[in-house]
């Protein structure tokens, strides 16, 4: 398969998209930070089902990393990423530098309330400000008809949807199902950090969440059930649990039994922080 065209500047990106528009073609976007895996590829396939052309951005966004996080260590493998995009049939890769995205004197920030409150924000206070700012820029640079985000980063998906609603950004946001390995572990670029022993322990996380969701659907008391999930995660070998929360699916307000919900978790295993979520059906 032919590799996608690669552009590094906003002006070149806009020139390609402008030509597609001149031809009457629709455009989808998949924002990524690279180190692509099967989960990312599944997003591009959905994008190409919904539009004539697909742009994938590959940009490790520094504004969503705290000073103590793994910005410098985050995996970067552009050649392999382009091979994956070629196999998926993606037409364009946007690979800007940090200076292209945040030139000297850049001061703007986008802040989103509502679904950004709590959970990730409790541990990464500036994370969603960085996400909302870079996603807003990518949408304005590309002007896609739709964009595809994975449900694994469920709180992020809700934040991006609210960003577009509140700012009248005319991009349809499509949530794509989480891609998992054969034992249920959610695909993540950070899984590459896990040792063989940690990988076995990590695969217990989704199993615990599913049992917890089933217990809640059967009428178990929410806080006791979530506390038990936390204990089970620690007993599975995790070093810590940042949060285990039951929230409503759309607003991320505290879950009520008559609403569809999600259990969301962030847990630490060695040097790796894993996040995941499962659905809770309305009772």
* pTM to 2 decimal places: 0.95
**pLDDT of the chain, 283 residues: tens digit per residue:** 788 999 999 999 999 999 999 999 999 999 999 999 999 999 999 999 999 999 999 999 998 987 766 677 777 899 999 999 999 999 999 999 999 999 999 999 999 999 999 999 999 999 999 999 999 999 999 999 999 999 999 999 999 999 999 999 999 999 999 999 999 999 998 898 899 999 999 999 999 999 999 999 999 999 999 999 999 999 999 999 999 999 999 999 999 998 899 999 999 999 899 999 999 987 6
Measuring CA to CA, which residue among 200, 160, 165 is closest to residue 184? 200
Dihedral angle sign, alpha carbons of residues 139, 142, 147, 148 = negative
> How far apart, in Å, are the Cα atoms of 246 and each of 131, 136, 209, 278?
23, 28, 10, 10
CA distance 9 to 189: 25
Distance from C-alpha of 187 to C-alpha of 180, rounded to nearest angstrom: 5
Give the pLDDT confidence score for residue 273 in this predicted structure: 95
In the chain, residues under CATH classification 3.30.1300.10 are: 189-280
141 is in an annotated binding site: no
| Residue 38 marked ligand-binding | yes
- Give the per-residue pLDDT at 99: 97
The rounded distance, in Å, linking the Cα atoms of 80 and 168 is: 36
Q: Is 263 helix (H, G, I), strand (E, B) or coil?
A: strand
pLDDT at res. 130 = 96
pLDDT at 73: 74
Q: Give the residue numbers annotated as catalytic, written as ranges.
A: 40
101 is in an annotated binding site: no
Model pLDDT, residue 67: 72
37 is in an annotated binding site: yes
CA–CA distance, 94 with 158 (Å, rounded to integer): 24
**CATH 3.40.50.620 residue window(s) in the chain:** 5-176
Phi, psi of 84 (to 5 degrees): -65, -40
Question: How many H-runs (helices) and E-runs (strands) does the chain carry?
Answer: 10, 9
Q: Is 150 annotated as a binding residue?
A: yes
Domain 189-280 maps to which CATH number in 3.40.630.10, 3.30.1300.10, 3.30.1490.190, 3.40.50.2300? 3.30.1300.10
Q: What is the pLDDT of residue 114?
A: 94
- Residue 5 labelled as part of a binding site: no
Note the pLDDT of residue 103.
Answer: 96
CATH number for region 5-176: 3.40.50.620
């Amino acid at each position: 398969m032919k590799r996608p065209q690669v552009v590094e500047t906003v002006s070149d990106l806009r020139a390609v998209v402008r030509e597609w528009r001149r031809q009457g073609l629709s455009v989808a976007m998949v924002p990524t930070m690279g180190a692509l895996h099967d989960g990312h590829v599944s997003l591009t396939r959905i994008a190409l089902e919904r539009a004539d052309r697909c742009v994938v951005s590959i940009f490790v966004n520094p504004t969503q990393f705290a000073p103590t996080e793994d910005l410098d260590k985050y995996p970067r493998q552009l050649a392999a990423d382009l091979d994956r995009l070629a196999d998926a049939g993606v037409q364009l890769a946007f690979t800007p530098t940090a200076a292209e995205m945040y030139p000297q004197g850049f001061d703007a920030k986008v802040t989103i309330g509502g679904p950004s409150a709590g959970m990730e924000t409790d541990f990464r206070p500036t994370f969603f400000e960085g996400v909302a700012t870079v996603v807003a820029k990518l949408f304005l640079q590309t002007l896609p008809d739709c964009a595809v985000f994975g449900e694994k980063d469920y709180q992020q998906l809700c934040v991006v949807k609210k960003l577009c609603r509140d700012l009248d950004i005319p991009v349809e946001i499509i949530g794509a199902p989480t891609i998992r390995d054969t034992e249920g572990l959610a695909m993540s670029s950070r899984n590459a950090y896990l040792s063989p022993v940690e990988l076995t322990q990590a695969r217990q996380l989704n199993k615990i969440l599913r049992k917890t969701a089933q217990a809640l659907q059967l009428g178990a008391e929410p806080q006791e059930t979530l506390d038990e999930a936390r204990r089970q995660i620690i007993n599975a070998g995790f070093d810590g649990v940042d949060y285990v929360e039951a929230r409503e699916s759309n607003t991320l307000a505290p879950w009520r039994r008559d609403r569809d919900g999600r259990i969301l978790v962030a847990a630490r295993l060695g040097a790796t922080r894993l996040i995941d979520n499962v659905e809770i059906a309305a009772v």
